[in-house]
Amino acid sequence: MKISKTLIIGIDALEYDLVKEWDLKNLMQEEYGRTQLPIYPGEEPNTRIVWPCFITGKMPHEMGYVTQKVFKPPLQFFINLFFPKIKFILSPRRDNPKDMIEKNANKRFRLAMEIYALLSRWHLVRKPVRDDIKAATIFETISPSIHLHIPVYDENLPDYSSKVIEAIENKAYRSIFEMKCMHEFKQRTREVFDWWNKNEWKLFMQYFWLLDGIQHVFYNNPKKIAKFYIMFDEFIGKLREKIDDDTLLLIVSDHGQHKGIHTTHGFYSVNKPLGLRNPKLIDFRWTIEEILKNERK
């Protein structure tokens, strides 16, 4: 049977090691493994950069921007020029989720936030939007396509970091945060089936943020994290029952997460053998285009 459709489920922070450890067989399809991320040495993966790189098949400097915030010209030129040093100063890697809220534990993180706030007041920096993605995406080259909630491309991400920090700091808020994540899961899984039935498509992608937030907040509660992993595994199981033999189902993450800290590898899983070995995340765009163009058997 030829592959004539591709369904992509983008799950933020889906960790390869946990999928293996908990033996989540629906997530571990015919072929699965780690991916190499479009990040520079020493860098921590960032949602606003990695997902646009995934849909364009380009590294950040080719995609359009290299930092999680976009600076007003000509400041952006110097940011790009001195990127490694600026990145190290303004976005220090955190060793523990509590570093997000403990000033003495991560003074550089607080300094970065203060600098960003000052530059924002001067209208010199902002969050990236679709127009900042300079490279063509897979949604323009494959038609008809459906894309829901893709970071930067479809929508600006809400200020999740403040909610995550509040939930880490305030135990009373954690149950509310968990309910918000549960709401996203139910809403977006329902959207998949609703759009599936009502629209024609050759490429379909849905994105989920919630797993990233859950793992940040409940980094020391593996049972809570496992609950959400199992929910995703069951959802994928339902999808696998529904899809036709001519549909490629790709599950992919922008990074993993271990004890609340982003890992520098991603996860992928496909329901048909593609023969990939430790693939680059940015290569999936070109692989999918080739498959759909040739309707590969």
Residue ranges of domains in the chain? 5-56+134-294, 66-127
* Residue range 270-281: mean pLDDT, rounded: 94
* Residue range 16-38: mean pLDDT, rounded: 97
C-alpha 189: how far from chain center:
16
The answer to which of 68-72, 174-178, 282-286 has the lowest mean pLDDT is 68-72
Contacts of 185 (CB under 8 A, 6+ apart): 208, 210, 228, 231, 232, 235
The answer to which of 7-16, 32-41, 206-215, 286-295 has the lowest mean pLDDT is 286-295
What's residue 124's pLDDT?
80
What's residue 97's pLDDT?
59
pLDDT in tens, 218-242: 999 999 999 999 999 999 999 999 9
Task: Please check whether the domain covering 5-56+134-294 is classified as CATH 3.90.76.10.
Answer: no
Instruction: Identify the band that residue 61 occupies on the pLDDT scale cut at 50, 70 and 90.
Output: confident
pTM of the predicted model, to two decimals? 0.89
C-alpha 101: how far from chain center:
23
**Order of strands, sheet of 265-270, starting from the edge strand that comes earlier in the sequence:** 31-36, 265-270, 247-252, 5-11, 203-208, 145-148
What's residue 9's pLDDT?
98
The backbone torsions φ and ψ at residue 272, rounded to the nearest 5 degrees and listed phi first, read -135, 140
* Spatial contact of 152 and 128, defined as CB atoms under 8 Å apart: yes
Residue 21 scores a pLDDT above 50: yes
